[in-house]
Amino acid sequence: MTDQWIEETLYDNWGQRFRVTKELARTKSPFQDIVVFESDSHGRVLMLDGVVQITERDEFVYQEMLTHVPLFTHGAPRNVLIIGAGDGGVLRRVLEHPGVEKAVMVEIDGAVIELSKQHLPAIAVDAWTNPRAEVIVGDGIDYVAKAADASFDVIIVDSTDPIGVGEVLFTDSFYQHCARILTSEGLIVNQCGVPFMQADELRETSERRAKFFPHVSAYVAAVPTYVGGFMTLGIAAKGKSPVGQDVQAVRARAQQAGILENTQYWTPEIHVGSFNLPPYIAKHLPTAD
Ligand code: SAM
């Protein structure tokens, strides 16, 4: 941090910086450096190991797309597993779906959860105390290795990038267990970075998931603070391909769930259209799905 500015250190040759109006927390957990600060441009911001994870101002883009796309693609998910996502934003969006009976969230770092409860209450809102939520502090790979076969309809992986503690969530072993614990129509979504800068992340995770899932594709979302253009969200399905869905069918599901009027980024049209990938991104997927 220099004066009142804080710089993101994701890339060693390019970055963004925020003017800090107040530093709210700065600590080192057993897993990572955690900083929470207030900015006048983006509201409150969570940084882990110098990388922006979430800001109050644009969290809706990432959270809505990471949640509503897989849940409405599945159509009738009852059991949802969330890995990572310690800020609670994905848990909140999953619980907005009335058909979800149980949302299990497994986050490795209890300090991220506690600091988010304290300093980012607008992200999770009341999700932490929802009786349909089970929050576990533990490693996602250990959880999936022990979970029963066919026990989840959707898995959402909201992890840090594949360095350090998040690396195991991008391995063959992790995806193999995820395929095993998903139901026959189950699907998994995970963030695959910004391909303009992190193409390897999309290519490698797509190749790995293709070993265990018949349908592997990706969709895009423009998250302002994940700099570099579109972010890709990788999706892999055991049942039907998620590509080429019908807008009216997606709209009907959202209407029934009472979510249609409540989003700021996700719409049925964006849901279906986000699977249309620019060629510079599509070329990193193993085969056309
Ligand atoms: N939305 C963010 C992004 O894409 O930059 C990610 C948010 S989130 C806060 C990522 C979380 O994943 C972190 O809190 C981190 O502790 C957690 N995480 C990393 N590795 C994990 C693992 N092996 N098991 C469970 N959670 C993990």
Q: What CATH number has the domain bearing residue 133? A: 3.40.50.150
The pLDDT assigned to 288 comes to: 54
Domain boundary pick from 37, 55, 73: 55
- Note whether 41 and 143 are same-domain residues: no
- Note whether 126 and 26 are same-domain residues: no
Reported as a pLDDT band with limits 50, 70 and 90, residue 73 is: very high
- Note whether 124 and 31 are same-domain residues: no
The pLDDT assigned to 289 comes to: 61
The pLDDT assigned to 49 comes to: 95
| Ligand 1 centroid – CA 251 distance (Å) | 30
Reported as a pLDDT band with limits 50, 70 and 90, residue 161 is: confident
Flag whether 181 is in a domain.
yes
CB-ligand 1 contact for 145 (6 Å cutoff):
no
CB-ligand 1 contact for 54 (6 Å cutoff):
yes
Q: Is residue 287 scored above 80 in pLDDT? A: no
Which residue's alpha carbon is nearest to atom 27 within ligand 1? Answer: 84
Nearest to 53 by CA among 149, 119, 125: 119
The pLDDT assigned to 267 comes to: 98
Domain boundary pick from 15, 37, 55: 55
Across residues 19-33, what is the average pLDDT? 97
- Note whether 35 and 94 are same-domain residues: no
CATH of the domain at 36: 2.30.140.10
Q: Encoding tokens for residue 142?
A: 């250990």
CB-ligand 1 contact for 140 (6 Å cutoff):
yes
For residues 149 and 177, is the Cβ–Cβ distance under 8 A? no
Q: Is residue 1 scored above 60 in pLDDT? A: no
Residues 6+ apart with CB under 8 A from 26: 33, 34, 35, 36
Flag whether 23 is in a domain.
yes
If one compares 86 and 261, the residue with the highest pLDDT of the two is 86
For 93-115, write each residue's pLDDT tens digit: 999 999 999 999 999 999 999 99
- Note whether 255 and 227 are same-domain residues: yes
- Note whether 254 and 178 are same-domain residues: yes
Rounded distance between C-alpha atoms, residue 38 and residue 23, angstroms: 6
Instruction: Mark the binding-site residues, compressed into ranges.
Output: 32, 87, 107, 139-140, 158-161
The pLDDT assigned to 158 comes to: 95
Across residues 263-270, what is the average pLDDT? 98
What residues form DSSP beta bridges with 82? 105, 156
Among 49, 58, 109, 158, the one annotated catalytic: 158
Flag whether 85 is in a domain.
yes
DSSP class of 155:
E
- Note whether 51 and 140 are same-domain residues: no
Flag whether 289 is in a domain.
no
- Note whether 82 and 123 are same-domain residues: yes
- Note whether 36 and 86 are same-domain residues: no
If one compares 165 and 154, the residue with the highest pLDDT of the two is 154
User: In which domain, by residue range, is 43 found?
Assistant: 5-55
Instruction: Mark the binding-site residues for S-methyl-5'-thioadenosine, compressed into ranges.
Output: 32, 107, 139-140
The pLDDT assigned to 3 comes to: 65
Domain boundary pick from 18, 37, 55: 55
Rounded distance between C-alpha atoms, residue 251 and residue 253, angstroms: 5
Flag whether 259 is in a domain.
yes
Flag whether 275 is in a domain.
yes
**Average per-residue pLDDT in the chain?**
95
- The three state secondary structure string of 242-276 is CCCCCHHHHHHHHHHHCCCCCCCCCCHHHHHHCCC
If one compares 246 and 3, the residue with the highest pLDDT of the two is 246
CB-ligand 1 contact for 87 (6 Å cutoff):
yes
For 162-212, write each residue's pLDDT tens digit: 878 889 999 999 999 999 999 999 999 999 999 999 999 999 999 999 999
Which residue's alpha carbon is nearest to atom 3 within ligand 1? Answer: 53
Helices and strands of the chain, counted as H and E runs: 10, 12
For 211-232, write each residue's pLDDT tens digit: 999 999 999 999 999 999 999 9
Flag whether 287 is in a domain.
no
Instruction: Report in angstroms the alpha-carbon separations of 188 from 24, 202, 216, 281.
Output: 34, 14, 10, 19
- Note whether 133 and 31 are same-domain residues: no
- Note whether 103 and 221 are same-domain residues: yes
Domain count for the chain, please give it. Answer: 2
Q: Is residue 242 scored above 90 in pLDDT? A: yes
Active site residue 158: yes
For 29-69, write each residue's pLDDT tens digit: 999 999 999 999 999 999 999 999 999 999 999 999 999 99
- Note whether 120 and 162 are same-domain residues: yes
Reported as a pLDDT band with limits 50, 70 and 90, residue 87 is: very high
The pLDDT assigned to 163 comes to: 79
pTM comes to: 0.96
Flag whether 44 is in a domain.
yes
